[in-house]
A = this chain, B = another copy of it.
Amino acid sequence: APWDTPGAARLDEQTMATWIRRTAKTATAREALATGVKAVFSVEPADVSLLHVLFYAASAGGWDDLIDTEGGAQQDRIVGGSQLISLRMAEELGESVRLSSPVRSIAASGDEVVAGEVSARRVIVAVPPALASRIEYDPALPGLRDQLTQRMPMGSVMKCMAVYDEPFWRADGLSGQAVSLPGPAQVIYDNTPPGGSPGVLLGFLEGDEARVLGAATEAERREAVTGTFARVFGERARNPSGYIEKDWSAEPYSRGCYAGVLGPGAWTSYGRALREPVGRVHWAGTETATRWMGYFDGAIQAGRRAAEEVRLG
Stretch at the interface among A41-49, A224-232, A289-297: A41-49
What 7 A-B pairs are tightest by C-beta distance, nearest first? Answer: A143-B249, A46-B265, A150-B153, A13-B46, A13-B17, A47-B265, A140-B252
Complex contact B140–A17 (CB within 8 A): no
Known: A14-B14, A17-B264. A256 touches B46 (CB 8 A): no
Least Cβ distance of A143 to chain B in Å? Answer: 3
Does A29 interact with chain B (Cβ within 8 Å)? no
The tally of residues in A whose CB lies under 8 Å from a CB in B reads: 52
Does A59 interact with chain B (Cβ within 8 Å)? no
Least Cβ distance of A83 to chain B in Å? Answer: 20
A-B contacts, 28 of them at CB < 8 A, read A9-B46, A13-B44, A14-B17, A17-B265, A44-B269, A46-B268, A47-B264, A47-B266, A104-B104, A104-B136, A130-B150, A133-B134, A134-B136, A140-B251, A144-B214, A144-B215, A144-B249, A146-B250, A147-B154, A147-B256, A150-B150, A150-B153, A150-B255, A151-B153, A156-B269, A211-B269, A263-B264, A263-B265
Contact of A46 among B12, B21, B214, B252 (CB under 8 A): B12
CB contacts (< 8 Å) of A245 on chain B: these are none
Complex contact A265–B44 (CB within 8 A): yes
CB contacts (< 8 Å) of A134 on chain B: these are 133-134, 136
CB contacts (< 8 Å) of A44 on chain B: these are 13, 265, 269
- Within 168-221 of A, Cβ neighbours of B (below 8 Å) are at 207-208, 210-211, 214-215
Interface string of A11-28 (1 = CB under 8 A from B): 011110110010000000
Contact of A211 among B141, B144, B263 (CB under 8 A): B144
Complex contact A250–B12 (CB within 8 A): no
> How far does the alpha carbon of A39 sit from the alpha carbon of B44 in the complex, in Å?
29
> How far does the alpha carbon of A44 sit from the alpha carbon of B210 in the complex, in Å?
30
Does A7 interact with chain B (Cβ within 8 Å)? no
Complex contact A269–B208 (CB within 8 A): yes
> How far does the alpha carbon of A266 sit from the alpha carbon of B263 in the complex, in Å?
10
> How far does the alpha carbon of A12 sit from the alpha carbon of B220 in the complex, in Å?
29
CB contacts (< 8 Å) of A215 on chain B: these are 144
Least Cβ distance of A45 to chain B in Å? Answer: 7
Does A110 interact with chain B (Cβ within 8 Å)? no
> How far does the alpha carbon of A252 sit from the alpha carbon of B145 in the complex, in Å?
12
Least Cβ distance of A137 to chain B in Å? Answer: 7
Does A94 interact with chain B (Cβ within 8 Å)? no
Does A142 interact with chain B (Cβ within 8 Å)? yes
CB contacts (< 8 Å) of A65 on chain B: these are none
Given contact pairs A14-B15, A143-B256, enumerate 9 new A-B contacts (beta carbons under 8 Å).
A13-B17, A13-B21, A15-B264, A133-B133, A144-B211, A144-B215, A146-B249, A146-B255, A263-B265
Contact of A18 among B13, B45, B211 (CB under 8 A): B13
Least Cβ distance of A244 to chain B in Å? Answer: 18
- Within 239-296 of A, Cβ neighbours of B (below 8 Å) are at 247-252, 255-256, 263-266, 268-270
